[in-house]
C-alpha cells in the first residue's frame, strides 16, 4: 500500500518547493514511508512511498496547506508535485490511487491551477472544481464522493490518457458537486462514461470510515490544529456535511450520444434551484437563494468545461464536437458581455461569437444569431459572486446543420 512522489515530464523547471510535497501530521497504526515506520513531523519528499495497513491511518499536510489522507489498506502514488510561487498557473499536482480509500482536500496550489490537478485510479481520471473529495478504488471500479466543491470524472480512453494532467473534459465526463451528497460517481473498467449512483453502503466513507478527528467539511486553507502531538479531536465533522452547494448547476438533463442525464430538473427545482437557461438537452440552474450583485469594471473568464453536438437535418444521429479557444469578457460598467469559441468536429471548425446584455439578476442574454452582433444564440447566468458563469449556445452553421452546446467558465 504505497504512495510515491515521482518527478516526471509534468514538472516545469526546478523550484524551491519541488522536492518536498508535505509533512506527516498524524499516524495511527502501521504506516510506512519508503519502507520505514512513518513518524509525525517527517517530511514527505518526491520519490517517497507511503503505506497504510489494516486499521491504520496516515495524514499528510501538503506544502500548499491541503491534505492527503490515507485510510486503511490503501495503495497509491503522488506522481507529480510542483508549486511555482512566481507563476501559480504552472503548478502541477497528480496523484494515483491504486487501491483503497483516500481523501484529498485541495490546497492553495490546486486552487490556483485546478486545470493542472489530476487523481488517477486504475480506471478513471478525476479533476477538481475546488474541492474536498474521497475516492474508493480497486482494479475494477472507482467511486467518488464530494464533501465540498465538485469533481469531474472520466474513464480512460484514447482522449484521456493516464499520463495527462488536469481533468478530462467532454461528453465522456461527469461532474458531481457537494449539493448532491446522496450521490456517487462510479466508473467500472470498460465503461465509456461514468455513472451517477446512489451513495448507500458503497460510499467511500462506508467502506473505510474517517479516522478519529479527521477534518470535517472545510476549505483546505482553513486553520486546523494537526500538530503531531494532537489526536485531532478538535477538528470534528460538522452536523451537516452536505450543506455546501454550488450557486450554478449545469449539464445534460436529457440523454445525449448514449450518455445519461447528469441531473433531474424536477429534483433540483424542489431543492431550491431555478431554471436559468435551456437549450435542447442542456440546462443551467441557479440557486434561488444565492442572490447576485454586479462587480466593478470588466472581468475575463476562462473556459473550464464544455459539451457540444452537431445535428444534421434528416439524420437522427448527433455528432460529438469539441469546444476550443473560449473567451468570455463581462463589462459590469455598461452591463454587457462578449464571448467567442470554436466548435470542432472532424475536419470542420466553426468560429462562433456573440455580444449581449447582463441583466439585473445576473442573466446573460445574447443579441441573437441574426442581430448582426452575433452568429450564435447565447443564454446563461453569472454565479452569485461572479466567480463563475455558464451559458448554453446554438447556431446554424450550414444550410442543414446546427450546433448546440453548453459551457462553464471561471475567473
**Which cell numbers in the block locate residue 193?**
462514461
DSSP state of 236: P
pLDDT, residue 186, reads 97
Q: What is the dihedral of CA 14, 19, 25, 27, to 10 degrees?
A: 140
Q: What are the residue ranges spanned by the domains of the chain? A: 3-207, 248-410
Q: What is the dihedral of CA 316, 318, 319, 323, to 10 degrees?
A: 150
The span from the CA of 392 to the CA of 28, in Å, is 49
Encode pLDDT of 222-257 as tens digits. 444 443 333 222 222 222 334 357 889 999 988 888
Encode pLDDT of 323-376 as tens digits. 999 999 999 999 999 999 999 988 889 999 999 999 988 999 998 888 889 999
**Which cell numbers in the block locate residue 300?**
475575463
Other beta carbons within 10 Å of 334: 8
Kindly report the CATH number that applies to the domain delimited by 248-410.
Answer: 2.40.160
Kindly report the CATH number that applies to the domain delimited by 3-207.
Answer: 2.60.120.1440
- pLDDT over 80 at 124, yes or no: yes
- Residues linked to residue 250 through DSSP beta bridges, in sequence order: 284
Amino acid at each position: 500500500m504505497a504512495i510515491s512522489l515521482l518527478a516526471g515530464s509534468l514538472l516545469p523547471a526546478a523550484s524551491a518547493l519541488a522536492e518536498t510535497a508535505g509533512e506527516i501530521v498524524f499516524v495511527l497504526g502501521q504506516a510506512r514511508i519508503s519502507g520505514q515506520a512513518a513518524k509525525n513531523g517527517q517530511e514527505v519528499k518526491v520519490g517517497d512511498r507511503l503505506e497504510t495497513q489494516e486499521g491504520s491511518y496516515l495524514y499528510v499536510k501538503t506544502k500548499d496547506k491541503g491534505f492527503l489522507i490515507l485510510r486503511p489498506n490503501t495503495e497509491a502514488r503522488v506522481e507529480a508535485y510542483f508549486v511555482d510561487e512566481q507563476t501559480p498557473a504552472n503548478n502541477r499536482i497528480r496523484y494515483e490511487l491504486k487501491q483503497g480509500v483516500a481523501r484529498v482536500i485541495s490546497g492553495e496550489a490546486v486552487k490556483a491551477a485546478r486545470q493542472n490537478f489530476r487523481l488517477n485510479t486504475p480506471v478513471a481520471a478525476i479533476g477538481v472544481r475546488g474541492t474536498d473529495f474521497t475516492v474508493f478504488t480497486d482494479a475494477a471500479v472507482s467511486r467518488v464522493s464530494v464533501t465540498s466543491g465538485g469533481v469531474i470524472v472520466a474513464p480512460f480512453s484514447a482522449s484521456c490518457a493516464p499520463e495527462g494532467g488536469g481533468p478530462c473534459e467532454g461528453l465522456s465526463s461527469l461532474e458531481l458537486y457537494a449539493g448532491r451528497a446522496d450521490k456517487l460517481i462510479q466508473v467500472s473498467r470498460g465503461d465509456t462514461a461514468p455513472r451517477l449512483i446512489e451513495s448507500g453502503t458503497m460510499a467511500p466513507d462506508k467502506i473505510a470510515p474517517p479516522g478519529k478527528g479527521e477534518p470535517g467539511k472545510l476549505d483546505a486553507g482553513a486553520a486546523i490544529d494537526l500538530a503531531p502531538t494532537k489526536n485531532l479531536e478538535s477538528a470534528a465533522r460538522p452536523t451537516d456535511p452536505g450543506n455546501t452547494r454550488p450557486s450554478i448547476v449545469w449539464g445534460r438533463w436529457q440523454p445525449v450520444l448514449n450518455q445519461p442525464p447528469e441531473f433531474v430538473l424536477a429534483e433540483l427545482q424542489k431543492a431550491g434551484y431555478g431554471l436559468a437557461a435551456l437549450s435542447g438537452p442542456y440546462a443551467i440552474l441557479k440557486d434561488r437563494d444565492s442572490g447576485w450583485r454586479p462587480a466593478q469594471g470588466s472581468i475575463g473568464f476562462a473556459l473550464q468545461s464544455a459539451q457540444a453536438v452537431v445535428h444534421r437535418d434528416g439524420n437522427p444521429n448527433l455528432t460529438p464536437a469539441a469546444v476550443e479557444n473560449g473567451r468570455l469578457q463581462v463589462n459590469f460598467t455598461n452591463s454587457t458581455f462578449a464571448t467567442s469559441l470554436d466548435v470542432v468536429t472532424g475536419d470542420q471548425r466553426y468560429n462562433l461569437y456573440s455580444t449581449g446584455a447582463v441583466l439585473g439578476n445576473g442573466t446573460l442574454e445574447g443579441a441573437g444569431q441574426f442581430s448582426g452582433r452575433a452568429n450564435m444564440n447565447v443564454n446563461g447566468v453569472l454565479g452569485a459572486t461572479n466567480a463563475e458563469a455558464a451559458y448554453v449556445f446554438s447556431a446554424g452553421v450550414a444550410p442543414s446543420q446546427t450546433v448546440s452546446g453548453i459551457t462553464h467558465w471561471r475567473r
